[in-house]
Structure 1
């Protein structure tokens, strides 16, 4: 009798969860619109500010009509700030008249004469957004310590107002704007979780004061630990205003469901100028800021002048330039000619690579030899060893010694971050709970969790 050969069971493929990638449109809306029209912007989730909504309608409509997700930022945190209310956010429909000062707690009462909550609901419905960030404020505001209570009531009132205005299908996300000390403190974090658990919200957007792409090893370690404490809510957590390696690490370690940042902006959140009157602009003050270029893999941006100085060193153009010809056809020259396009392509490419890795292998991939962390460490070491041309530095009015000192410090910090994350990885088990998947929402109705970001 012939032996019966039983096939060896094939192992089930490891799950690879989608990463919710939200793009703040911000100042780059024209560039992003051009990239989208050319088919080079894979963004399917946008965040639009109420003050800029009228300038971004074409991009919003294009992404929404393609089945994407549009989230409205109410900008009330800025409008309640002494230092920010008279800035760009004053273009929001519910901003007070010029000279009337910032919004206060009473403006967010359901029966307030200014009807801020009602205005937000009506704009959300009329503009066709698929989600709205609840009106929330900086919980570390020294001028008012009870925003948590006010914002909790405002969220409930917004749900009622949306339902009344025909926006029953529009979900509310909650922007949790907190000092790092509050997030890191278990007792205060417990109060936050209890408050959020009572609200009719879909996602929690975590915006931590003083944390961003330049976070150090201790900040990152504490952040990864603290955010895991929010998982008991059972809701997706979005790392807001967190770019660079810290954002990628949070995704790889599974403590967040997604990330929200801009292209060359909103990669860090600070409130240093929020709680004091804005300084009057002098006639000779320069508008805007110097354009910055992202060096591939370095986790740092430099001004064009600084980059040109580095490029003057032997092998400088090769080390600092973009080697991805699908991104920058002519390497360094293409990168500096179109820094926003380069940054956008690199950002989405990094997310796509991580998303393709099974969940339980993402930490290993991130820290591995060919992963983002190791590449950043190697690139930082190579760049700190460059010897820029002194004449080129003088021509660009760049202090080469100061520049190279900053880059040497950055290299040391990157090495420490790598060591810290490797230690965390070694002490964690594969059974560590991961953040809940944030499914793509289109038209207010969540799609399958297999949707793309």
Structure 2
């Protein structure tokens, strides 16, 4: 394994963690309502170029309160056969494809259509603080040259921003890759070599096939892989990552921050992006509302939550007892699951951020991870009312099996993370801290720290 550089602490033994909230493609009005009610204390947000025109008021209000705003160009989605006809098609540069996915030719820095100029002008017009460089899924089996294209695109975007009056707007680089490639020392070395001299501030890692539901071994390997990227000397953001796995990444100091949505966008998978989108002919009107159960780090449907709460001893295990979050308990959780998810996520990150860096791993293992493992074990022992389950159309045997499997996974997760903690030892290198950025303060070009 490569040697990992340990960066000196610049201020105190307790460095902040970056917590980015993706405003998403739909449901952002609910987030706007939470913000208006003072229930969305986001200090860093990611906005999609495809939806920004609908979110201008919310973004302006967040910026007025000092939030950092990062623009996602949605270029990766626009270049995928499965994704380009989704919400991403509303990004201004989607028209360059003429109704088809963008190709490598669209990212030629000397092309007549000037996609980089379009992005730079859009970023300037909307006053964002940083732009995610227009990169692609490097695991695309139909084109293996995206990484070189993306390196050139990062440089071209820096030039376009400077020409269009956006020298103060930073660039962050999204490395979108299969999680297995990040585990490979040789491939990781290629990434390090290609990313070393590009003009960007922070590295965003979006690991395909990985997320909040990752198993113990996969999680452990991801944490080791992220530590292997520290030689870049850049802060690292784990994108599309939430839950216990995201918190573990922060606690172990292998990343500088995480990015996810509120109750969504906590895992990522691009393995089928090169295929036509599957037709949905089953008459479905969208997936059922899911509610985050903080005590077991799992989301369930409303019917499943009520079934568990109705079981003997279940209510204290699965309902929100924090009156600052849900004043009326289960009723409030069900009525506003996004508010509940937002509060719980911000609370857990804030609690972790308050712990000195070198104590975070042990604190996380003794606290959050142990609590989840213990509570998951208690929940899997609940006995459900057969008639109640039937009325809710829940197969008790299948549901119980899922809870048992989850309990086993959380127990193994605790053991796996404890083993990693022991092998790393106290004082293990940590990712470089990340600074807040505000474009309107004109602090200089991307790439400066």
TM-score, normalised via structure 1 length: 0.93
2:425 aligned to 404, 424, 429, which one?
A: 429
Instruction: Work out the CA distance in 1 between the residues paired with 2:101 and 2:29.
Output: 29
SS at match of 2:275: coil
Equivalent in the alignment of 2:257 = 258
Equivalent in the alignment of 2:369 = 373
Say whether 1:175 aligns with 2:171: no
Worse overlay, 204-213 or 273-282: 273-282
Q: In the superposition, relative to structure 1, how do residues 235 and 97 fare at CA in structure 2: closer, same or farther (>3 Å)?
A: closer
Q: In the superposition, relative to structure 1, how do residues 214 and 204 fare at CA in structure 2: closer, same or farther (>3 Å)?
A: same
Q: CA deviation at 1:55?
A: 0.7
Root-mean-square deviation (CA), in Å? 1.5
Aligned residues: 432
Equivalent in the alignment of 1:324 = 322
Q: CA deviation at 1:35?
A: 1.4
Alignment check: 8 A CA contact 2:43 2:67 kept: yes
Worse overlay, 233-242 or 272-281: 272-281
Equivalent in the alignment of 2:436 = 440
Alignment check: 8 A CA contact 2:96 2:102 kept: no
Q: CA deviation at 1:99?
A: 6.4
Instruction: Work out the CA distance in 2 between the residues paired with 1:181 and 1:320.
Output: 34
Q: CA deviation at 1:446?
A: 9.1
Equivalent in the alignment of 1:68 = 67
Q: Which runs of 5+ in 2 are unaligned?
A: 1-10, 444-449
Q: CA deviation at 1:213?
A: 0.6
Q: CA deviation at 1:280?
A: 3.1
Q: CA deviation at 1:308?
A: 1.6
Q: In the superposition, relative to structure 1, how do residues 98 and 87 fare at CA in structure 2: closer, same or farther (>3 Å)?
A: farther
Instruction: Work out the CA distance in 1 between the residues paired with 2:22 and 2:378.
Output: 32
Alignment check: 8 A CA contact 1:86 1:98 kept: no
Give CA-to-partner distance per residue, 1:53-77, whole Å, 9 cap, x none.
0111011111112221000000010
Q: CA deviation at 1:97?
A: 6.7
Q: CA deviation at 1:312?
A: 2.1
Q: CA deviation at 1:327?
A: 0.6
Instruction: Work out the CA distance in 1 between the residues paired with 2:87 and 2:66.
Output: 29
Q: CA deviation at 1:155?
A: 0.5
Alignment check: 8 A CA contact 2:295 2:317 kept: no
Alignment of 1:210-289 (within 5 A): 210-282=209-281, 285-289=283-287
TM-score, normalised via structure 2 length: 0.94
Worse overlay, 248-257 or 63-72: 63-72
1:397 aligned to 393, 396, 401, which one?
A: 393
Alignment check: 8 A CA contact 1:197 1:233 kept: yes
Instruction: Work out the CA distance in 1 between the residues paired with 2:390 and 2:140.
Output: 44
Alignment of 1:39-438 (within 5 A): 39-96=38-95, 100-282=99-281, 285-368=283-366, 371-438=367-434
Q: CA deviation at 1:115?
A: 2.1
SS at match of 1:21: strand
Equivalent in the alignment of 1:9 = none
Alignment check: 8 A CA contact 1:171 1:444 kept: no
Q: Which runs of 5+ in 1 are unaligned?
A: 1-12, 448-453
Alignment check: 8 A CA contact 1:21 1:260 kept: yes
Q: CA deviation at 1:429?
A: 2.1
SS at match of 2:94: coil
Q: CA deviation at 1:174?
A: 0.4
Instruction: Work out the CA distance in 2 between the residues paired with 1:442 and 1:392.
Output: 53
Which has the higher Rg, Structure 1 or Structure 2? 1
Q: In the superposition, relative to structure 1, how do residues 446 and 419 fare at CA in structure 2: closer, same or farther (>3 Å)?
A: farther
Instruction: Work out the CA distance in 1 between the residues paired with 2:27 and 2:279.
Output: 26
Give CA-to-partner distance per residue, 1:32-62, whole Å, 9 cap, x none.
1111111221101000000000111011111
Worse overlay, 312-321 or 81-90: 312-321
Give CA-to-partner distance per residue, 1:260-287, whole Å, 9 cap, x none.
00011110001143121012343x6223
Instruction: Work out the CA distance in 2 between the residues paired with 1:428 and 1:309.
Output: 42
Q: CA deviation at 1:98?
A: 8.2
Q: CA deviation at 1:315?
A: 1.7
Alignment check: 8 A CA contact 1:25 1:47 kept: yes
Instruction: Work out the CA distance in 2 between the residues paired with 1:281 and 1:414.
Output: 34
Q: In the superposition, relative to structure 1, how do residues 14 and 107 fare at CA in structure 2: closer, same or farther (>3 Å)?
A: closer
Q: In the superposition, relative to structure 1, how do residues 404 and 446 fare at CA in structure 2: closer, same or farther (>3 Å)?
A: farther
SS at match of 2:27: helix
